[in-house]
A and B are shown apart, each in its own frame.
Chain A
Amino acid sequence: TQLLEQSPQFLSIQEGENLTVYCNSSSVFSSLQWYRQEPGEGPVLLVTVVTGGEVKKLKRLTFQFGDARKDSSLHITAAQPGDTGLYLCAGAGETSGSRLTFGEGTQLTVNP
């Protein structure tokens, strides 16, 4: 069974601070995706990383895929209240086809 562990589970910071969310597994993934979810809504895709060591930037968000394709991180610079939400990482296994395994999520609250 492939598991993705996210840390921290909860994060409450002040506007302007930087933060990093981690997503770790003992399994290798063919790709890893990050989603953001707001209460009562479905997750929204932020980015997909495919290549080990890959770094992608989306405005103030930086995503990194580990060299061994077992872990990933999301770094947010100068967080804003609009960044508040549940951040989920999800991995597509090398043998699981299109099925995604999701982490439990990191609930981020950015206080003004």
Chain B
Amino acid sequence: GDSVTQMEGPVTLSEEAFLTINCTYTATGYPSLFWYVQYPGEGLQLLLKATKADDKGSNKGFEATYRKETTSFHLEKGSVQVSDSAVYFCALNGNAGNMLTFGGGTRLMVKP
């Protein structure tokens, strides 16, 4: 079945540091890939998505590129802020189209 593996946290960075959170997946066919963010005490917000190979999703300074050859969708941001502190979930929506498979989540803590 489908699966998503993302790096375990917590990831602790200083403000303005470069961020990478690794995400790899296993799926048949051509899934859509997502990053969701969950701020403390809140629900999940869609951060960005990509629906086909080589697509780049971007939002709020975050980027991720759908790499089919390496089955990866790594999240990057050039300069993190304290307000980016949250849990980040990588997810895929497979061929069925109505079910998300989540990675375990990565907690990011950004210190001033």
A and B co-occur in one complex: no
* Chain A interface residues toward B at CB < 8 A: none
